[in-house]
Amino acid sequence: MSDHSEVAYSTADGNDYAEHEATYNFFIGLVKYGTAAVVLIVVLMAIFLL
């Protein structure tokens, strides 16, 4: 049978941790500001639709 050794992702070729961190930070920013926008919309609906 072939050798199925454990893959070491920290030493694998092609890992671009700087790009990974930039993408993660962009995603976190979208979640943060998206949540704030939804909260603002709900508050404005509560004010103007009651």
The answer to the question of residue 33 being in a domain is: yes
Q: Which domain holds residue 28?
A: 16-50
How many structural domains comprise the chain?
Answer: 1
Cα angle 36, 37, 42 (rounded to 5 degrees) comes to 100
pTM of the model: 0.65
The answer to the question of residue 22 being in a domain is: yes
pLDDT-derived band at 50, boundaries 50, 70, 90: confident
Helix, strand, coil in percent for the chain, rounding step 5: 65, 0, 35
Q: List, for residues 20-42, the tens digit of each pLDDT value.
A: 999 999 999 999 999 999 999 99
Q: How far apart, in Å, are the Cα atoms of 43 and each of 13, 14, 30, 31, 49?
A: 48, 46, 20, 18, 10
The answer to the question of residue 5 being in a domain is: no
The answer to the question of residue 9 being in a domain is: no
pLDDT-derived band at 17, boundaries 50, 70, 90: confident
